[in-house]
Structure 1
Amino acid sequence: MKSIKLRGVCAAVSGALLFGFGANAMADSTVDIVNALVSKGVLTEEEGNLLTKGREGEKLGQEKAMKSAGKIKISDVVDSATLYGDIRARYEFRNGEDTASNGEDRSRGRYKLTLGVKTEAGDFYSDLALSMGKNGRSDNATFGAAADGSNGSNTKEAVYVKRAMLGWKATDWLKIEAGRVANPLYTTSMVWDADLTFEGLVEKVDFKTGSINWFGNFAQSQYRGDRQDFYNIDTSSERKTNTVLAFQGGAKFDITDTVSAKAAVTYTTYTSDNGTGTGAFVPGLGTGTGVAGTWGTNVTSTNDIRTIEIPAELGFKLANNMKLNVFGDYVVNLDGDDRFDAAVAAATAGTARNTIRAAGNDDKAWLVGVGLEQKQDKNPKKGDWSAKLWYQDVGVYALDPNAVDSDFMDSKVNLKGVVFKGEYLVRDNVFLNLAAGHATRKNDRLAATGAGDINLNLDSYNLYQLDVTYKF
């Protein structure tokens, strides 16, 4: 009689176990049923263990499988690989005017895709990322921007290599990276557009003494081509190269339990100084009007740029997981006088030369801002938000016009203005962003010089952006 009862119980429990294969919750309930039968004396402890043993092994297998579900296996020599990326859709409106009230409005929908994989293998690691946008300062593609200018062609976008980096953890405090590397510098978008990468070698130092975290970032980035020398009996020539050398040292530390600080000093120099004669950077004049008004000649020249940059911030922890951040950045071009003199000498017309000389040397740039954020955890969480407001002022000879932010202020120098950026997390991985900015020309004698999206000699500039980003 007991054998018949046991067989019936086993059949009922086994049926529940089989049904539980499709749902962990049901399977856990089955184990509870078996435990209840043991406690009431219907089953012995040995019989109960026999019934639940198989289910416990399967449950551990399922948990192990779930833990490894998000990992990518490449080869046995690679310890781990992580796939990451984001997709962004954006609407933006840009507006510019010159001194004659000529205006240009530009509204467009845009999208961006980034897809990458990071790997680790012992002391070595890598980062390979693909993105759209062939220009260094933008990963965006514009809706309806057909390659041949026709309607309805639905041209596919090209995908480019954004990063291709190999890294080595030489010691606990030193990392060395080579290839196309993410910008290692602690800086702001006033100086370096966030989409720009460095190509060459990067060394990162990070160590702690007492309560101070010290860091150093050093970069040797090939900015323009390889050097080529040609020799023969009749002629000799060379292809100029240009390398950016950056040396940064800084620290971050807690002043009190609720106040923290971070600051750095960065020295940057460009090895190519071909700023003699007509090859020098020459800003345009502020009197130019109309489409493609006078921006100047050789506006991408990097002659006589040797800067000291000092970025810094103070953080204040507030109630309810809120934090107030006050930040700033200051840059001075140590060779600003030489850049100014070269521009005067290279100006092709006497009137332009006199105007540039009268405008004087403006070789400084600065930024100051405030931010407020609420974060529930170190990782992004639904409901987190942040907002930043800052003012920046960029002299015409202070910075490399090839590197400044392409959004604010339209890839140009000799502009000053205010920027607001806000972010809200709709989900843990879905970010809603709003940005707005307004700028005016700083020195009215000279143009707002650079290669931007608004084809005017800008006297004023506005930009509004609304986008949603899905990260994975």
Structure 2
Amino acid sequence: MKSIKLRGVCAAVSGALLFGFGANAMADSTVDIVNALVSKGVLTEEEGNLLTKGREGEKVGQEKAMKTAGKIKISDVVDSATLYGDIRARYEYRDGEDTGNFDEDRQRGRYKLTLGVKTTAGDFYSDIALSMGSGGRSDNATFGNGNNGANSKETVYVKRAMLGWSATDWLKLEAGRVANPLYTTSMVWDADLTFEGLVEKVDFKTGNINWFGNFAQSQYRGDRQDFSVDTSDRKTNNILAFQGGAKFDITDTVSAKVAATFTKYTNDNATGASTFVPGLGTNTGIGTSLGSTITATNDLRTIEIPAEVGFKMANNMKLNVFGDYVVNIDGDDRFDAAVAAASSANQAAIRAAGNDDKAWLVGIGLEQKKDKVAKQGDWSAKLWYQDVGVYALDPNAVDSDFMDSRVNMKGIVFKGEYLWRDNVFVNLAAGHATRKNDRLAAVGTGNDINLNLDSYNLYQLDITYKF
């Protein structure tokens, strides 16, 4: 009788297994049925275990497969690989005026793609990222970039190719094309720029102070050439950056972060075409020359002090006050070299304009964030004012949006962000700027407005999908 009973129960349970095949919910129901039969004495515990053993193994296998689904498998030596990226669509409006009767309005749709993968293998790690945009300060492509609808396909470039080593708990070493390691602002470094060379990162804690250090040796212009019987030698130009800073809590609701950064450009050859010479503010018209050698990086040794103070408020709100101050300690030499290298007709005007070798920024931000990870409904807004002297910063590195890739500009910027979904961001940005020193040009390289700007406005509306 017992064997007949067991065969009947097995048939019933097998039916449940058949209907539950491939679904964890049904698998759980099958186990519940067997447990109920054991509790009523229909089956012994040994018989129940025999029936559920195979199903439990299958369930474990399904759960393991679900956990590994979506993970990238590269090789057995790689511990983990994470695919990431974003797609952004943008509408942008810029307009500028000079001191004459010339103005320019520029409207365009733009898009951006970034695709990358990060890997870890023991104490080594890597970051490889691809993006559009051949220029270092922009990953954007413009709609209608072709003739009469024959839009050209965009080229994808290597944005980052970094190999890292976690040497200790407090020291990381990175080499290759590396994300900018410095705690800084867009007034000094455009967010799309990378460093090429070596980076060292230090991070450790003593008491309630978190100390950090970022050091970079980046080749700004590489491929040094030395000829034994020629005068066509070419020097490298390296950027050497040394930063030390700290993050700490002042009270339970107030925190602070501050750093000091020394940056040196090694190519200090202030002669001829290697000398920075700004243009004059009186030049007007489309295509006006903004200076004879506006990309030169001679006499640049800067000290930068970025800082911020955060205040935790009710309802997951946080108020942030931030700023940045930069002085070019070789500003006098950069000014003197510009005067000496200018044409005889312009020397007096450039000398009379004086040496402006400082830049500063101050701003305020407000955000509401439910958790450490961004969630739908989170938002943030920040407003700042910046003032950049013509001899203070590298004109090749300042932000390409505000103020149109230029120095000798001052103005105000607003940026707001709202999370439409957990991974969908809507951003609005607006800014207004004017020329700081009217005697000199609003000088820069890679400008989007083709004028010697006296005033400038920018409006951007973005939607970004991150994955």
Fold match (TM-score > 0.5): yes
Residues 280-323 of structure 1 show CA distances to partners (whole Å, capped at 9, x for unaligned) of 11111111212122311211110111100000011111112221
Within the candidate set 173, 182, 186, 2:179 is matched to: 182
Letter paired with 1:47:
E
Instruction: Out of 374-383 and 302-311, give the one that drifted further.
Output: 374-383
Offset, 1:2:
5.3
Cα distance in 2 for residues equivalent to 1:320 and 1:56: 45
Letter paired with 2:431:
G
Cα distance in 1 for residues equivalent to 2:122 and 2:96: 52
Offset, 1:3:
4.5
Match of 2:151 in 1: 154
Offset, 1:353:
1.6
Residues 5-40 of structure 1 show CA distances to partners (whole Å, capped at 9, x for unaligned) of 543443333223233233323332333333333333
Residues 32-64 of structure 1 show CA distances to partners (whole Å, capped at 9, x for unaligned) of 333333333343333333332222222211221
Offset, 1:225:
2.2
> Given that residues 277 and 345 in structure 1 are in contact (C-alpha distance below 8 angstroms), is that contact kept between their aligned partners in structure 2?
no
Offset, 1:67:
1.6
Match of 1:336 in 2: 331
Cα distance in 2 for residues equivalent to 1:101 and 1:463: 20
Letter paired with 2:262:
Y
Letter paired with 1:273:
D
Cα distance in 2 for residues equivalent to 1:286 and 1:236: 37
Question: Unpaired runs of 5+ in structure 1?
Answer: none
Cα distance in 1 for residues equivalent to 2:441 and 2:243: 32
Match of 1:398 in 2: 392
Within the candidate set 377, 383, 405, 1:411 is matched to: 405
| Residues 288, 49 of structure 1: alpha-carbon distance in 2 compared, 3 angstrom cutoff | same
Cα distance in 2 for residues equivalent to 1:26 and 1:463: 58
Residues 301-349 of structure 1 show CA distances to partners (whole Å, capped at 9, x for unaligned) of 1011110000001111111222111110000000111111111111114
Match of 1:84 in 2: 84
Q: Partner of 1:229: helix, strand, or coil?
A: coil
Cα distance in 1 for residues equivalent to 2:166 and 2:193: 24
Within the candidate set 191, 201, 205, 2:202 is matched to: 205
Cα distance in 1 for residues equivalent to 2:118 and 2:433: 39
> Given that residues 231 and 237 in structure 1 are in contact (C-alpha distance below 8 angstroms), is that contact kept between their aligned partners in structure 2?
no
Alignment of 1:233-272 (within 5 A): 235-272=230-267
Match of 1:103 in 2: 103
Offset, 1:435:
1.1
- Aligned-residue CA RMSD (Å): 1.6
Letter paired with 1:20:
G
Match of 2:63 in 1: 63
- Answer yes or no: is 1:371 the counterpart of 2:365: yes
Match of 2:93 in 1: 93
Residues 56-104 of structure 1 show CA distances to partners (whole Å, capped at 9, x for unaligned) of 2222112211222232221222222211111111111111111124211
Cα distance in 2 for residues equivalent to 1:45 and 1:268: 74
Match of 2:123 in 1: 123
Match of 1:52 in 2: 52
Match of 2:427 in 1: 433
Letter paired with 2:198:
L
Number of aligned residue pairs: give it: 466
- Answer yes or no: is 1:35 the counterpart of 2:32: no
Alignment of 1:283-322 (within 5 A): 283-322=278-317
Letter paired with 1:456:
L
Cα distance in 2 for residues equivalent to 1:47 and 1:374: 57
Q: Partner of 2:348: helix, strand, or coil?
A: helix
Residues 235-285 of structure 1 show CA distances to partners (whole Å, capped at 9, x for unaligned) of 433112210000000011111111111100000010001222343111111
Instruction: Out of 34-43 and 368-377, give the one that drifted further.
Output: 34-43
- Answer yes or no: is 1:224 the counterpart of 2:221: yes
Residues 155-214 of structure 1 show CA distances to partners (whole Å, capped at 9, x for unaligned) of 111111111111111121111111111100000010000000000111111111111111
Within the candidate set 251, 258, 272, 1:277 is matched to: 272
Match of 2:414 in 1: 420
> Given that residues 433 and 467 in structure 1 are in contact (C-alpha distance below 8 angstroms), is that contact kept between their aligned partners in structure 2?
yes
Cα distance in 1 for residues equivalent to 2:331 and 2:392: 7
Cα distance in 2 for residues equivalent to 1:329 and 1:363: 14
Question: Unpaired runs of 5+ in structure 2?
Answer: none
TM-score of the aligned structures, taking structure 2 as reference length: 0.96
Match of 1:384 in 2: 378
